[in-house]
Protein backbone atom coordinates (compact mmCIF):
# COMPACT_ATOMS: atom_id res chain seq x y z
CA UNK A 1 0.00 0.00 0.00
CA UNK A 2 1.47 3.34 -1.04
CA UNK A 3 0.87 6.47 0.99
CA UNK A 4 -0.77 9.42 -0.75
CA UNK A 5 1.55 12.43 -0.80
CA UNK A 6 -0.21 15.80 -1.06
CA UNK A 7 2.18 17.99 -3.06
CA UNK A 8 0.28 21.25 -2.61
CA UNK A 9 -0.01 20.71 1.14
CA UNK A 10 3.73 20.04 1.30
CA UNK A 11 4.44 23.28 -0.57
CA UNK A 12 2.23 25.23 1.84
CA UNK A 13 4.10 23.68 4.76
CA UNK A 14 7.40 24.79 3.22
CA UNK A 15 6.14 28.36 2.85
CA UNK A 16 5.15 28.45 6.52
CA UNK A 17 8.40 26.86 7.72
CA UNK A 18 10.47 29.21 5.54
CA UNK A 19 9.25 32.12 7.68
CA UNK A 20 11.40 30.73 10.49
CA UNK A 21 14.61 30.67 8.44
CA UNK A 22 17.25 33.10 9.70
CA UNK A 23 20.19 34.12 7.52
CA UNK A 24 22.86 35.81 9.63
CA UNK A 25 26.57 35.71 10.36
CA UNK A 26 27.80 33.34 13.05
CA UNK A 27 31.06 33.10 14.97
CA UNK A 28 33.03 30.61 12.88
CA UNK A 29 35.62 30.29 15.66
CA UNK A 30 33.00 28.34 17.60
CA UNK A 31 32.47 25.82 14.81
CA UNK A 32 34.47 22.66 15.51
CA UNK A 33 32.25 19.75 14.49
CA UNK A 34 30.32 19.56 11.22
CA UNK A 35 27.60 16.94 10.82
CA UNK A 36 27.66 15.74 7.21
CA UNK A 37 24.32 14.23 6.13
CA UNK A 38 23.47 12.14 3.08
CA UNK A 39 21.06 9.37 2.05
CA UNK A 40 21.64 6.49 -0.38
CA UNK A 41 18.87 4.42 -1.97
CA UNK A 42 18.12 1.12 -3.57
CA UNK A 43 14.50 1.00 -4.66
CA UNK A 44 12.40 2.18 -1.73
CA UNK A 45 15.09 1.42 0.85
CA UNK A 46 17.12 4.36 2.12
CA UNK A 47 20.12 4.63 4.43
CA UNK A 48 20.99 7.97 6.01
CA UNK A 49 24.47 8.57 7.37
CA UNK A 50 25.52 11.35 9.72
CA UNK A 51 29.24 11.84 10.18
CA UNK A 52 30.96 14.09 12.70
CA UNK A 53 33.79 15.92 10.94
CA UNK A 54 36.29 17.91 12.99
CA UNK A 55 37.13 21.00 10.94
CA UNK A 56 40.06 21.93 13.20
CA UNK A 57 41.69 18.49 12.87
CA UNK A 58 40.37 17.91 9.34
CA UNK A 59 39.23 14.37 10.10
CA UNK A 60 36.14 12.27 10.74
CA UNK A 61 35.47 11.65 14.43
CA UNK A 62 32.69 9.09 14.06
CA UNK A 63 29.62 8.19 12.00
CA UNK A 64 26.21 6.58 12.44
CA UNK A 65 23.69 5.24 9.93
CA UNK A 66 19.98 4.45 10.01
CA UNK A 67 17.91 2.77 7.33
CA UNK A 68 14.37 1.95 6.41
CA UNK A 69 11.66 2.10 3.77
CA UNK A 70 10.97 5.43 2.09
CA UNK A 71 7.43 5.83 0.76
CA UNK A 72 7.60 9.37 -0.64
CA UNK A 73 8.95 9.65 -4.21
CA UNK A 74 11.63 12.08 -5.30
CA UNK A 75 9.98 15.37 -6.30
CA UNK A 76 12.23 18.35 -7.16
CA UNK A 77 11.83 21.05 -4.52
CA UNK A 78 10.28 18.64 -2.01
CA UNK A 79 13.33 16.51 -1.20
CA UNK A 80 13.04 17.12 2.55
CA UNK A 81 9.78 15.19 2.78
CA UNK A 82 11.56 12.16 1.33
CA UNK A 83 14.93 12.35 3.08
CA UNK A 84 14.64 14.49 6.23
CA UNK A 85 12.96 11.83 8.44
CA UNK A 86 15.90 9.43 8.04
CA UNK A 87 18.43 12.26 8.32
CA UNK A 88 16.87 13.48 11.57
CA UNK A 89 17.02 9.96 13.03
CA UNK A 90 20.68 9.71 12.04
CA UNK A 91 21.46 13.13 13.51
CA UNK A 92 19.76 12.29 16.81
CA UNK A 93 21.72 9.03 16.93
CA UNK A 94 24.96 10.93 16.24
CA UNK A 95 24.25 13.28 19.14
CA UNK A 96 23.37 10.43 21.51
CA UNK A 97 26.15 8.01 20.61
CA UNK A 98 29.00 10.24 19.50
CA UNK A 99 29.18 14.01 19.69
CA UNK A 100 27.09 17.19 19.47
CA UNK A 101 27.77 18.93 16.13
CA UNK A 102 27.96 22.70 15.76
CA UNK A 103 26.62 22.93 12.22
CA UNK A 104 24.92 20.76 9.60
CA UNK A 105 26.16 20.19 6.06
CA UNK A 106 23.43 18.57 3.99
CA UNK A 107 23.43 17.01 0.52
CA UNK A 108 20.77 19.29 -0.96
CA UNK A 109 19.86 22.96 -1.24
CA UNK A 110 19.48 25.66 1.38
CA UNK A 111 17.54 28.83 0.56
CA UNK A 112 18.38 28.55 -3.16
CA UNK A 113 14.92 27.07 -3.50
CA UNK A 114 11.53 28.09 -4.98
CA UNK A 115 10.03 28.50 -1.49
CA UNK A 116 13.34 29.39 0.19
CA UNK A 117 13.32 26.09 2.08
CA UNK A 118 15.52 23.39 0.64
CA UNK A 119 16.34 20.35 2.75
CA UNK A 120 19.31 22.09 4.42
CA UNK A 121 17.07 24.96 5.54
CA UNK A 122 14.31 22.53 6.54
CA UNK A 123 16.68 20.53 8.76
CA UNK A 124 18.27 23.67 10.17
CA UNK A 125 14.91 25.05 11.29
CA UNK A 126 13.60 21.73 12.65
CA UNK A 127 16.83 21.00 14.57
CA UNK A 128 17.45 24.68 15.42
CA UNK A 129 21.01 24.54 14.08
CA UNK A 130 23.11 26.42 11.53
CA UNK A 131 23.06 24.56 8.21
CA UNK A 132 24.68 24.57 4.78
CA UNK A 133 23.31 23.10 1.56
CA UNK A 134 25.62 21.32 -0.91
CA UNK A 135 23.90 20.32 -4.17
CA UNK A 136 25.12 18.82 -7.43
CA UNK A 137 22.39 20.35 -9.59
CA UNK A 138 20.95 23.85 -9.94
CA UNK A 139 17.40 24.28 -8.66
CA UNK A 140 16.32 27.92 -8.41
CA UNK A 141 17.40 31.54 -8.84
CA UNK A 142 19.81 32.86 -11.42
CA UNK A 143 23.57 32.80 -11.74
CA UNK A 144 25.66 35.98 -11.90
CA UNK A 145 29.30 36.99 -11.56
CA UNK A 146 30.03 39.40 -8.70
CA UNK A 147 33.56 40.39 -7.62
CA UNK A 148 35.03 37.40 -9.42
CA UNK A 149 32.69 34.88 -7.84
CA UNK A 150 29.92 32.91 -9.52
CA UNK A 151 26.91 33.51 -7.27
CA UNK A 152 23.32 32.33 -6.93
CA UNK A 153 20.82 35.19 -6.73
CA UNK A 154 17.30 34.88 -5.30
CA UNK A 155 15.06 37.88 -4.61
CA UNK A 156 17.88 40.22 -5.57
CA UNK A 157 20.37 38.93 -3.01
CA UNK A 158 23.21 36.44 -2.91
CA UNK A 159 22.05 33.18 -1.33
CA UNK A 160 24.87 30.90 -2.45
CA UNK A 161 27.86 30.24 -4.67
CA UNK A 162 28.81 27.99 -7.57
CA UNK A 163 32.04 26.07 -7.03
CA UNK A 164 33.74 24.19 -9.86
CA UNK A 165 35.56 21.01 -8.80
CA UNK A 166 36.96 18.43 -11.23
CA UNK A 167 34.85 19.89 -14.08
CA UNK A 168 31.70 19.59 -11.93
CA UNK A 169 29.73 22.59 -10.73
CA UNK A 170 28.52 22.29 -7.13
CA UNK A 171 25.97 24.67 -5.60
CA UNK A 172 26.67 25.88 -2.06
CA UNK A 173 23.93 27.82 -0.28
CA UNK A 174 23.12 29.07 3.20
CA UNK A 175 20.53 26.93 4.93
CA UNK A 176 19.77 28.47 8.32
CA UNK A 177 21.56 30.63 10.91
CA UNK A 178 24.59 31.29 8.69
CA UNK A 179 25.54 33.84 6.03
CA UNK A 180 26.11 32.68 2.43
CA UNK A 181 29.77 33.75 2.37
CA UNK A 182 30.38 31.80 5.58
CA UNK A 183 28.71 28.71 4.11
CA UNK A 184 31.16 29.00 1.21
CA UNK A 185 34.15 29.49 3.53
CA UNK A 186 33.39 26.37 5.60
CA UNK A 187 32.75 24.35 2.46
CA UNK A 188 36.03 25.36 0.82
CA UNK A 189 38.00 24.70 4.01
CA UNK A 190 36.76 21.10 4.06
CA UNK A 191 37.02 20.45 0.30
CA UNK A 192 39.82 18.22 -0.98
CA UNK A 193 40.92 18.97 -4.54
CA UNK A 194 40.24 15.47 -5.86
CA UNK A 195 36.77 15.09 -4.31
CA UNK A 196 33.49 16.22 -5.84
CA UNK A 197 32.00 17.34 -2.51
CA UNK A 198 33.31 18.86 0.73
CA UNK A 199 34.65 16.11 2.97
CA UNK A 200 31.65 15.89 5.37
CA UNK A 201 29.31 15.17 2.44
CA UNK A 202 31.85 13.06 0.55
CA UNK A 203 32.34 10.77 3.56
CA UNK A 204 28.63 10.59 4.43
CA UNK A 205 27.90 9.59 0.83
CA UNK A 206 30.60 6.90 0.81
CA UNK A 207 29.52 5.42 4.14
CA UNK A 208 25.79 5.47 3.35
CA UNK A 209 26.43 3.63 0.06
CA UNK A 210 28.48 0.96 1.85
CA UNK A 211 25.95 0.57 4.67
CA UNK A 212 23.15 0.19 2.13
CA UNK A 213 25.05 -2.47 0.22
CA UNK A 214 26.07 -4.40 3.36
CA UNK A 215 22.72 -4.21 5.17
CA UNK A 216 20.08 -4.19 2.42
CA UNK A 217 18.23 -7.27 3.71
CA UNK A 218 18.12 -5.87 7.24
CA UNK A 219 16.40 -2.69 6.11
CA UNK A 220 13.76 -4.37 3.92
Smallest CA-to-CA distance from 47 within 38, 55, 56 is with 38
Smallest CA-to-CA distance from 211 within 50, 20, 32 is with 50
Is 193 labeled as ligand-binding?
A: no
Is 107 labeled as ligand-binding?
A: yes
Rg of the chain, C-alpha, whole Å? 16
Question: What is the number of H-type helices and E-type strands within the chain?
Answer: 5, 9
For the chain, where are the alpha helices, taking DSSP H only?
Answer: 7-18, 79-97, 119-127, 180-189, 199-219
Task: Please state, in angstroms and rounded to a whole number, the distance separating the CA atoms of residues 210 and 124.
Answer: 26
Angle at 42 between CA 39 and CA 48, to 5 degrees: 20
Helix/strand/coil percent split, the chain, to 5: 35, 30, 35
Q: What is the DSSP string of 65-127?
A: EEEEE--SPP-TT-HHHHHHHHHHHHHHHHHHHT---SEEEEES-SS-STTS--HHHHHHHHH
Binding site for Mg(2+), by residue number, is 38, 107
Binding site, by residue number, is 38, 107
Amino acid sequence: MHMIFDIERAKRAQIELSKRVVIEEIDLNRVDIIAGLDVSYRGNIGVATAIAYNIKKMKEECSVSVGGKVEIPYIPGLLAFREAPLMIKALIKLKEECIEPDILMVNGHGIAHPRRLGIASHLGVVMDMPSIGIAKSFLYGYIDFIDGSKVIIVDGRIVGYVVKKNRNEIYVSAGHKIAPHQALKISLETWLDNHRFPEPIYLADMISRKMLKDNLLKYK
